[in-house]
Amino acid sequence: MTPEPVVPQAPPTTRLALTHRPRRLRRTEAIRSLVRETRLSADALVLPLFVCEGRGVRREVASMPGVFNLSVDEAVKETAAANADGVRSVILFGLPASKDESGSSAWDSDAPVQSAIRAIRREVPGALVFTDVCLCEYTSHGHCGLLDGETILNDPTVNNLVRMALSHAVAGADFVAPSDMMDGRVGAIRRALDDAGFADTGIMSYAAKYCSAFYGPFRDAAGSAPSFGDRRSHQMDPANVDEALREVELDLAEGADIVMVKPAVPYLDVIAKVKERFGRPTAAYHVSGEYAMLKAAAANGWLDERRVMLETLTSIARAGADIIVTYYAREAARLL
Ligand code: PBG
């Protein structure tokens, strides 16, 4: 046996001659908050609401605890409660009573979304109302547009998206938010809004929307899963970022006021590049699957929900998002 080598004793000096001690700025909460670079604010949050038929309906979505299908009267209450929490903005999704091949209930002026826009306008005057514009919740096949066999037709779908967006503007939406990923839809919607006298209705385009498995719980909430195939022929390949910048550039050229990246956390690099390159109002959608993951881990006691929620939303803002669409909007606002 060879003897253990003797470890030399460290010298007793403990003062290092350091010019920089970054820890000085982390010493107390007062100092940390003084030098904080990203300040999350309830003003930046948008709460998604799923509006259905009926009265007094408040049906929880199984894969999204704390998220509900709401009838119009309940959607109004939820918007008012969100406002009281400091969240001024909601984005509406519709669960129509009937679906058909072309998704025609999407532009029905008495459908849940159009009715909810009018009711919110009337009863919660301070609220900002965004509406999702896509046909997948309205078509019998669950695809985002008109089909020829299994192919989603671009230009005829854009015509229907325009009708849908116009019906939202007529009902009083502040912003329409096309999430369909058809080519040219932002320009077509902008022209139609202007021609119809809605020059002040804004467009928040889902500009870089990826074909993501994180939308799963949303499709439970909205009943919008495709009956066959997937959305790869129009939503983006998760591997691409140059293409995201081209999509954003096109939507801005076509008249988008706000551009969105979706999902958020797996695409923080995309958010950062979009903000850096274009410097325009940039939104990010913290989607249903991102929310469900945190909820499930929290329910198991595996994560501290408040902390992971605020850390997640802060990271999205730090990446460059000015606006965050999130199911956590109310919970986060109450803590801010
Ligand atoms: C409609 C739409 C979807 C989402 C927003 N708008 C679903 C999809 O593209 O399948 C997803 C939102 C979420 O997962 O929270 N096309």
User: CATH code at 289?
Assistant: 3.20.20.70
> Which pLDDT value is given to residue 74?
98
Query: How would you classify the pairing of strands 282-286 and 258-262?
Result: parallel
Instruction: Tell me, in angstroms, the distance from the centre of ligand 1 to residue 191's CA.
Output: 25
127, 175 Cβ separation under 8 angstroms: no
The reply to whether 60 falls in a domain is yes
pLDDT at 4: 77
**How many residues in the chain?**
336
Q: Dmax over Cα atoms in the chain, in whole Å?
A: 92
Domain span at 105: 39-335
Residues within a 6 A CB radius of ligand 1: 132, 134, 136, 144, 179, 215, 218-219, 224, 287-288
Asked if residue 189 belongs to a domain, the reply is: yes
Q: Centre a 10 Å sphere on the Cβ of residue 100 and count the other Cβ atoms it contains.
A: 13
- Tell me whether residue 46 is exposed, middle or buried, using C-beta atoms within 10 angstroms of its C-beta: 0 to 12, 13 to 18, 19 or more: buried
- pLDDT per position as a tens digit, 216-243: 999 988 888 999 998 999 999 999 999 9
CB-based burial, 213-237: b 16+ in 10 Å, e otherwise: ebbebbbbbbebeeeeeebeebbbe
Residue 79 domain-assigned? yes
List, in sequence order, every beta strand (DSSP E) within 117-182: 128-133, 147-148, 151-152, 175-178
Q: Which of 236, 179, 234, 233 is nearest to 203 (CA)?
A: 179
Q: Cα of 307 to ligand 1 centre, how many Å?
A: 26
Distances from the Cα of 179 to the Cαs of 88, 137, 300, in angstroms?
21, 12, 33
Q: What's the gap in Å between 145 CA and the centre of ligand 1?
A: 14
**Residue 93 within a domain:** yes
- CA 149-154-158 angle, to 5 degrees, is 125
Report DSSP state, residue 43. G
For residue 289, the ligand 1 atom closest to its alpha carbon is 14
Pocket test for ligand 1, best of 47, 50, 132, 134 (most atoms within 8 A of CB): 134
For residue 24, tell me if it sits in a domain: no
The mean pLDDT of 27-42, rounded to a whole number, is 97
Domain tally for the chain? 1
134 CA distance to ligand 1 middle (Å)? 9
Is 210 contained in some domain? yes
Convert the pLDDT of each residue in 131-149 to its tens digit. Answer: 999 999 999 999 999 999 9
Alpha carbon nearest to ligand 1 atom 6, residue: 179
Residues recognised as catalytic: 209, 262
Q: Which residue, by CA, sits nearest to atom 11 of ligand 1?
A: 215
pLDDT at 13 over 90: no
Q: Could you tell me the distance, in angstroms and rounded to a whole number, from the CA of residue 173 to the centre of ligand 1?
A: 19
Could you tell me the pLDDT band of residue 155, with boundaries at 50, 70 and 90? very high
The yes-or-no verdict on residue 3 having pLDDT over 80 is no
**How far apart, in Å, are the Cα atoms of 13 and each of 6, 9, 10, 22?**
20, 12, 8, 21
- Rounded Cα distance between 117 and 129, Å, is 7
Residue 32 lies in a domain: no
- Taken in order 329, 333, 335, 336, is the CA torsion positive or negative? positive
> What percentage of the chain carries pLDDT values higher than 70?
99
- pLDDT recorded at residue 136: 94
Which whole number is the average pLDDT over 320-325? 98
Q: Where does the pLDDT of residue 6 fall: very low under 50, low under 70, confident under 90, or very high at 90 and above?
A: confident
Confidence label for 5 from pLDDT (cuts 50, 70 and 90): confident
d(CA 103, CA 163): 11
Grouping H, G, I as helix, E, B as strand and the rest as coil, residue 282 is: strand
Q: What is the pLDDT of residue 87?
A: 98
Q: Which residue has the tokens 């050229």?
A: 253
Map residue 156 onto helix, strand or coil: helix
Of the residues 64, 204, 218, which should be mutated to test ligand 1's pocket, given the most ligand atoms within 8 Å of the CB?
A: 218
3, part of any domain: no
